[in-house]
Chain A
Amino acid sequence: MATHAEHATSVSARALPPYPADYRTWKILAWTGPVFLAAVFGLWGLLARNMPPFPPSATPDEVKAHFLEFRLPLLVALSICVTMTALYMSWSVAVARVMERIEGPGGVLSKLEMMGGTITCAPVMVTLAIWLTAAHEVNYLTPGVMHMLYWMGWLLFDLAYFVTSLQIAAISIVFMRDKREKKLVPEPVIWWGWVTFASFFAVSAIPFVTTGPLAFNGVISFWIAFFTWFFWIPSLSYFIIKAVDRIKAEDKVAGRVNA
């Protein structure tokens, strides 16, 4: 007697694309998510002194003094981090491919996830480049311009959050719809995605406040919003990496390993 899970597998098997599945590359891409996180955490967070961020209430002179004091670590951290940000895109491709095994090839939410993950890279890269410019040119720029560049970076970095929110929502919806008896991504990780999704909304307040919980260095807009995301990326990555193996096993059983 066929089980519900087997039925779901056979449905997705029929919907498989005709091109080969390269499981090894797929798995490598899935690993780029944790690597991206490690880079952001270590370089942007620790080396570039963004944990906690330099206060939004700082005066233009204080901002310039901060960039002067930490010019070298900022140059090193931000220049490497700009490059490493692309790994979020490659990770998103791996996640989308797993999602397609639930949603069907070319599924609209899988596409949304991949677009969301890719476009997330754009504001992050531009922000890092803005701060990198500020650090590079600190000796030639006025305190007012330094202050503007610092704030511009944060506004772009934070307020583009809804692109990532859509990515997270797409992922959460699709993995909730997984009919497997043992889901590819377990419910706690899916729901942590919703926590992350919800926690992002508060950062919309950052243009209006320079102190308190909603400021860009505040407990809500920084510590909660960023760390829910930082925790979500490796949790999801763990199950995406495992999902590649599980999908390969499913394909083997169905006689569909073609790579």
Chain B
Amino acid sequence: MDGVWVFIGADSVIFAILFLTFMQDRLKNPALFEASRHTLNMNLGGLDTLILLSSSWSVALAIQALKRDLVDRVPRYLLGGVLTGLMFVVSKSIEYFQKFAHGLTPGTNPFYMWYFTLTGMHLAHVLLGTSLLTFLWIRSRRGAFSSVHRAVPESVASFWHLVDLLWIVLFPLLYLMKAV
């Protein structure tokens, strides 16, 4: 499964390009980006960060348990990852619903185009990651993994940590950093 690092590396580079392009667009219209940034829900953004950090921690514990052949603990840690992933989806849906209710859409202005594009792409990653964690959880309950059979769980965990890392960059970039 070494090739999975190509996927993770390419995904990181793609997001890095998007972050740089966002910064470039922000330089063109800092006042608009700053005013729009203030309309974002910092509390939900902060909560999302805590959720994803907890999720990554839970998945890391699952891999650690697997390495020590404590296989009975693995499903419960993976379930923690699945549930926190779902919590993130719910939280992001609430945030989107609030924006739409206030008439804010990707067409509102360039900031919102970026906000919905970046968080939407990240959300797609969360959905994929949560689905993969669910698959692992089901398989782990059947005892499919062990310290010697852990390539698939480690690959999924690496992807999940990337999803977390991307949010760690996205949150300050969109919600916290002043444009002017």
Contact = CB atoms under 8 A, between A and B. Distances in A.
Contacts of B21: 213, 219
A3 B40 CA distance: 60
A186 interface: yes
Interface string A154-194: 00000000000000000000000000000000111111101
Contact of B6 (A187, A208, A219, A223): A187
Interface stretch (B60-68, B109-117, B131-139): B109-117
Interface string B8-30: 00110010011001000000000
A87 B39 CA distance: 51
A223 B106 CA distance: 20
Interface string A216-245: 000110011000100000000000000000
A182 to B, nearest CB: 13
Interface in A189-224: 189-192, 194-195, 198-199, 201-202, 208-209, 211-214, 219-220, 223-224
Nearest to A172: B3
A28 to B, nearest CB: 29
Contacts of A214: 106, 113, 117
Nearest to A195: B10
Q: Identify whether the interface residues of B are mostly helix, strand, loop, or mixed.
A: helix
Interface residues of B, number: 21
A195 B117 contact: no
Interface string B89-109: 000000000000000001100
Interface range on chain A: under 10, 10 to 19, 20 to 34, or 35 or more? 20 to 34
Given A212-B117, A213-B18, A191 B4 contact: yes
A220 B114 CA distance: 11
A144 B3 CA distance: 48
A202 B107 CA distance: 16
A219 B106 contact: no
Contact of A209 (B14, B17, B106, B124): B106
Given A195-B11, A214-B106, 6 more contacts: A192-B6, A195-B10, A201-B124, A213-B114, A219-B18, A219-B21
Closest 10 CB pairs of A and B: A187-B3, A191-B3, A212-B113, A191-B6, A195-B10, A188-B6, A191-B7, A219-B21, A188-B3, A213-B117
25 contacts: A187-B1, A187-B2, A187-B6, A188-B3, A190-B3, A191-B3, A191-B6, A192-B6, A194-B7, A195-B6, A195-B7, A199-B14, A208-B106, A209-B106, A209-B107, A211-B113, A212-B106, A212-B113, A212-B114, A213-B18, A214-B106, A214-B113, A214-B117, A220-B121, A224-B14
